[in-house]
Amino acid sequence: MKKRIIFFVLVISFLWLISGISGESEFIIHLDETIKATDIFTLVNTLASPQYEGRLTGTAGYDKAVQMAADYFKQYGIRPIDGMETYTQLFPVSYTKVYESKLTLHVKDKNGKEEVLQCQYFKDYYPMNFSGSGNITGEIVFAGFGITAPEFEYDDYIGIDVKGKIAMIIKGAPKEKEGEDWSAYDDHRFRTKNALKHGAAGLLYIYSARGNPNGAYLEGFPMLAIEEKLADRILEKYRKNVKSLTEHLKQRHRNSFATDQTAELTVRSENFQGNGANVVGYIPGSDELLRNEFIVVGAHLDHCGMWPQLTPGADDNASGSAALLTIARALGTSKYQPKRSVLFALFGGEEMGLLGSTYLVSHLPEKVKKINFVFNLDMVGEGPDVFILRLKNYPEMEKIIMETPRKLNLNCHITGNEITEKGRGGSDHAPFVEKRIPAVSVFSAGSKHMGYHKADDSIYWITPKIMEDIAKIISYTVMRMAAD
Ligand SMILES: [Zn+2]
- In tens digits, the chain (484 residues) has pLDDT values of 344 444 444 444 334 433 456 688 999 999 999 999 999 999 999 999 999 999 999 999 999 999 999 999 999 999 999 777 799 999 999 999 999 999 999 999 888 899 999 999 899 999 999 999 999 999 999 999 999 999 999 999 999 999 999 999 999 999 999 889 998 999 999 999 999 999 999 999 999 999 999 999 999 999 999 999 999 999 999 999 999 999 999 999 888 999 999 999 999 999 999 999 999 999 999 999 999 999 999 999 999 999 889 999 999 999 999 999 999 999 999 998 899 999 999 999 999 999 999 999 999 998 999 999 999 999 999 999 999 999 999 999 999 999 999 999 999 999 999 987 765 678 999 999 999 999 999 999 999 888 999 999 999 999 999 999 999 999 999 999 999 7
CA torsion 188-191-197-202 (nearest 10°) is -70
Q: Is 223 helix (H, G, I), strand (E, B) or coil?
A: strand
- The CA 352 to ligand 1 mean position distance, Å, reads 11
Distance 317 CA to ligand 1 centre (A): 5
Select the CATH number that applies to the domain covering 22-79+284-483 from these four: 3.30.160.40, 3.40.630.10, 3.40.50.1100, 3.40.50.720. 3.40.630.10
**Ligand 1 centroid, distance to 358 Cα (angstroms):** 15
CA of 113 to the centre of ligand 1 (A): 43
Ligand 1 centroid vs 316 CA: distance in angstroms?
5
Residue 379 C-alpha to ligand 1 middle, in angstroms? 6
Q: How far is the CA of 183 from the centre of ligand 1 (A)?
A: 21
- Give distance in angstroms: CA of 297 to centre of ligand 1: 15
How far, in Å, CA of 23 to CA of 434, rounded?
Answer: 36
Q: Which amino acid is at 2?
A: K
CA of 356 to the centre of ligand 1 (A): 13
In CATH terms, 96-269 corresponds, of 3.30.70.260, 3.30.930.10, 3.30.70.980, 3.50.30.30, to 3.50.30.30
Instruction: State the distance from the centre of ligand 1 to the C-alpha of 386, rounded, in angstroms.
Output: 15
Give whole-number Cα distances, 23 to 77, 224, 285, 396, 480, in Å: 21, 56, 17, 22, 12
Q: Helix 320-332 to helix 24-34 angle, to the nearest 10 degrees?
A: 130
Distance of CA 318 to the CA centre of its chain: 11
Ligand 1 centroid, distance to 117 Cα (angstroms): 32
C-alpha dist (Å) from residue 172 to 196, 239, 250 = 18, 21, 8
Neighbours of 92 (CB within 10 A): 12
Question: Separation of 300 CA from ligand 1 center, angstroms?
Answer: 7
Q: How many A from CA of 427 to the centre of ligand 1?
A: 7
Distance CA 41, CA 314 (A): 10
Residue 21, CA distances (Å) to 7, 24, 25, 282, 337 in order: 21, 5, 9, 19, 10
Q: How far is the CA of 351 from the centre of ligand 1 (A)?
A: 7
In the three-class reduction of DSSP (H, G, I as helix; E, B as strand; rest coil), residue 473 is classed as helix
SS3 assignment, position 68: helix
Listed residues: CB within 5 A of ion ligand 1:
316-317, 378
Q: Would you list the DSSP string of 304-372?
A: ---SSS----IIIIIIHHHHHHHHHHHHHT-S---SSEEEEEEES-STTTSHHHHHHHHS--TT--EEE
Single out the residue of 302, 284, 306 nearest to residue 293, CA to CA: 284
- pLDDT in the model for residue 379: 97
Tell me how far the alpha carbon of residue 85 lies from the centroid of ligand 1, in angstroms: 28
Q: Is the pTM of this model over 0.75?
A: yes
Q: Spell out the domain ranges in the chain.
A: 22-79+284-483, 96-269
Amino acid letter, 166: I
Give residue 378 CA to ligand 1 midpoint distance, Å: 5
CB contact at 8 A, 302 and 447? no
CB 305, CB 54: distance < 8 Å: yes
Question: What is the 298 CA–ligand 1 centroid distance (Å)?
Answer: 12
pLDDT at 18: 39
Angle between helices 320-332 and 60-75 (to 10 degrees): 20
State the distance from the centre of ligand 1 to the C-alpha of 426, rounded, in angstroms: 8
CA of 278 to the centre of ligand 1 (A): 15
Three-state DSSP at 15 gives helix
Q: Phi and psi of 265, rounded to 5°?
A: -125, 140
Q: Judge contact between 226 and 206, C-beta under 8 A.
A: yes
In angstroms, the first-to-last Cα distance of the chain is 33
Ligand 1 center from residue 245 Cα (angstroms): 30
pLDDT of residue 20: 59
Separation of CA 313 and ligand 1 centre (Å): 8
Can you tell me whether residue 95 is helix, strand or coil? strand
pLDDT at 16: 40
- Please tell me the distance between residue 206's alpha carbon and the centre of ligand 1 in angstroms: 21
Q: Which residues of 114-127 are buried (b: 16+ CB within 10 A; e: fewer)?
A: eeeeebebbebbbb
What are the CA-CA distances from residue 391 to residues 296, 381, 416, 420, 424 (Å)?
A: 16, 19, 5, 12, 17
Alpha helices in 183-319 (DSSP H): 188-197, 228-235, 242-250
What's the gap in Å between 30 CA and the centre of ligand 1?
29
Which residue type, as a one-letter code, is found at position 212?
Answer: N
